[in-house]
Structures are given as C-alpha cells and as structure tokens.
Amino acid sequence: GKGAVLAFRRAESAMVSAAFQLQDLQAGREYEFEDADSGRTWRETGKQLMTSGLAISIDAPRASRLFFFENLPDNDKG
C-alpha cells in the first residue's frame, strides 16, 4: 500500500514536464502523495493516476524529484 516515485531529468533533456501513468494501483482507491522536497501533500484516485498519470515538472537539467505515496483506507459510507 506504500511506494515512491523517483523522476530524473538528464543533462541534455529539453523536457521540463510530463505525466507518468502509474500501474498496479486500485482504480477505486484514493492515494495520498507527499513531495519529499517541499512536504506538500495531495490526493488522487488510482484511476486518475493510471489514466491521466502523475504530472511531474523538473525545471533544471540533472535534477530529480521524489514523491512518496500510500493508499488510504476505504471511506465507504455503507
């Protein structure tokens, strides 16, 4: 139920941002993400992450971004 995403930007890469489709998540579950650099947290559904992807921007060449995530307990109301 927990994981991490580590993205690198190569020295010669002109690409600043991209959306990365994550796999093997549960479409109906909500996942909480934490940006390791800023401490910012947010939530997205497994369906969003597997279809639209996780948007990551890296402004400087030869830099990286690290995100931790975990699936949240079911919040079924029934």
Asked if the model's pLDDT at residue 1 lies above 90, the reply is no
Q: What is the pLDDT of residue 77?
A: 43
Distance CA(68)–CA(20), nearest Å, equals 15
The whole-number pLDDT of residue 75 equals: 58
With 0-12 / 13-18 / 19 or more C-beta atoms within 10 angstroms meaning exposed / middle / buried, residue 65 is: middle
Distance of CA 59 to the CA centre of its chain: 17
DSSP string, 31-57: EEEEETTT--EEEEEHHHHHHT-EEEE
pLDDT in tens, 2-29: 999 999 999 999 999 999 999 999 999 9
pLDDT tens sequence across 22-68: 999 999 999 999 999 999 999 999 999 999 999 999 999 999 999 99
Whole-number CA gyration radius for the chain:
14
